Structure 1
Amino acid sequence: MAAAAAAQSPAERFATYEEYLESQVTAQDLYYLESEAVARQLVELGFRGSGDVLRREDFEARVQEAAGLPAPVSKKSLASAGKELKDNFLRALAEREEANRTGRISSIIFIRDRNSRRQEVSAYIDYAHRLTTDDFEVYFSGKKRLFPRSTDLSFYNWDRNVSTSNSSPNYQVSAENACGLLFKNKSDRKIINVDPKAYPGDNTTRTPIQTDLYLHVVIYDHILRRGA
């Protein structure tokens, strides 16, 4: 039994990070420090215990991995971290960034605006995919705007009557059917219906965003249920 316990990782042996720290606190530590909280803190800082202590974020990442869940994203690694977000649209993106990066939510962003030629264009954007291809720090800092592209899930130039559709790593596009434009999530195979008069689909919410940056913005948040 002792050998089996030793073979387990700390994330499997302990329910919380605090329990993991307490496992390295000795009776002698408690005698001299007279405080479990201080003793745990000294273990976390590397002044007590084995000297090779997991950081809290590493421990939690291993717990997530052991549970078959996506690892959490460090707040410092988020493109929106530390940015002064002055518009509702940027705040909405920031609220969804971590969940889209970890795969808990798959958001589709609808943007309608005018391009540099004053032509009206719109697109449905796979947010999670764009997070992997674009530098979002320039968007969150206000240096550039997230804008429709012909390579997005669905793009339309209203002045030229030109449209394109492209599947992404997360969505398959269905543009020609009686229900209008549909997106099938490749993970759980659920359908997202972007018709504002229709039900958006299971586990999906439709949120219009009031913004000064674009003519029209709507975000569709699809919650991914693993094993669905």
Structure 2
Amino acid sequence: MSSTNNETPSSSSVVVGGNSITDPKSLFKYPTYEDYLDEKITTKDLFYLENQDLARAIIENEFKRYNILSREQFEEQKKKYMLSLTVKTPSLSTGMMGSGNDSNKTDRLCSFGKDLRNYPLLNELAKREAKVRSGRLNTIIFIRDYDKKGNEVSGYIDYGHRLKSEDFEEYFSLKKRLMPKTSDLSYYNWKTQTVSYNNSSTFQVIANSENGLFFRHRRDRKVISVDPKSNSDGTLNGDNSILQDTSVGDNSERRVIKTDEYLQVILYEHRPRRKN
């Protein structure tokens, strides 16, 4: 608050944007109730109140006036939706929906109930898990860091393939650390000069010395360029956590994750088009 004004701002001074969320699945993008409240707080609110926690408290205490969910309603709706959410996953043996003995298999989200706010990469992967499992989104994870032997390694990981072939809950539970493997789309050990490329059920690897590294989506045939020289620095998102650039290919975008977990993390995201 300004020292020249002795009046304490009333709750009516808080301008809340947005209406009540009636679709429970819309709550999936909010890891916590505080994240939900933060989207309702405007810069004007923070200017007058000078305290984000106070702004949250005012909105939470008078949730009916602002037409938003209470904490209890938020948790209950999110819990009901998450518990009922199942997605059909492709057969692990064929990688194709509707074929193989596992085509009717249903999996609950591995990230359900995990508080990953302090782990930027895992938090972003959790937000995308349902879409990647259903095939609405395909994500390639680039990671560069040191392995257990202290060697610098880097690689491109097909997130969807890892979800199908591994128990990814171990990563979301922090029991295992996500790192590139020689079985991923691309792997490079900077000390030993070990290089490997592998196609997945979703992406075909195109690698040559002249044009660099590309990944072709098997369904819509679109090509994703991961050559750093072809990408600009992008623009900083409002949450100050992700840099975004959309010049990597049709229906694709590049997101740089700002995190202390790794030396470098980039997400390449592709929204596939159906063939006519």
Into which bin does the TM-score normalised by the smaller protein fall? Answer: 0.5 to 0.7
Give the deviation of 1:208 after TM superposition. Answer: 0.4
Post-superposition CA distance 1:107-144 (Å, at most 9, x none): 00000010111000011000001000111111111111
Paired residues of 2:142 and 2:154 also in contact (CA < 8 A): yes
The partner residue of 1:174 within 206, 231, 244 is: 206
> Is residue 220 of structure 1 aligned with residue 268 of structure 2?
yes
Residues 1:83 and 2:114 are matched in the alignment? yes
Match of 2:160 in 1: 128
Contact 2:203 2:216 in 1 (8 A): yes
If asked which structure has higher relative contact order (CA below 8 Å, sep 6+), I would say 1
Deviation at 1:211, TM superposition (A): 1.4
Q: Matches of 1:179 and 1:193 in 2, distance apart?
A: 10
8 A Cα contact 1:84 1:141, kept in partner: no
Does 1:203 pair with 2:235?
no
TM score, norm. by length of structure 2: 0.55
Tell me if structure 2 keeps the 8 A contact 1:194–1:200. yes
* 1:221 partner letter: E
Compare 177-186 and 217-226 and name the one that shifted more. Answer: 177-186
CA-CA distance at 1:154 after TM superposition: 0.5
Report the Cα offset of residue 177 of structure 1.
Answer: 5.2
Structure 2 unaligned blocks of 5 or more = 1-83, 88-96, 99-104, 231-246
Quote the residue 2:131 is aligned against.
Answer: 99
Q: How does 1:1-228 map to 2 (within 5 A)?
A: 77-85=108-116, 86-176=118-208, 178-198=210-230, 199-227=247-275
Give aligned pairs, total.
161
CA RMSD of superposed structures (Å): 2.4
Cα distance in 2, alignment partners of residues 195 and 213 from structure 1: 23
Shift of 1:215: 0.8
Give the SS at the match of 1:197: helix
Q: 1:53-78: per-residue Cα shift (whole Å, max 9, x none)?
A: xxxx69x98xxxxxxx99xx98x810
| Unmatched segments (≥5 aa) in structure 1 | 1-56, 62-68
Larger radius of gyration: 1
**Percent of residue pairs bearing the same amino acid type:** 47
1:161 CA displacement: 1.2
Identify the structure with the greater helix proportion: 1
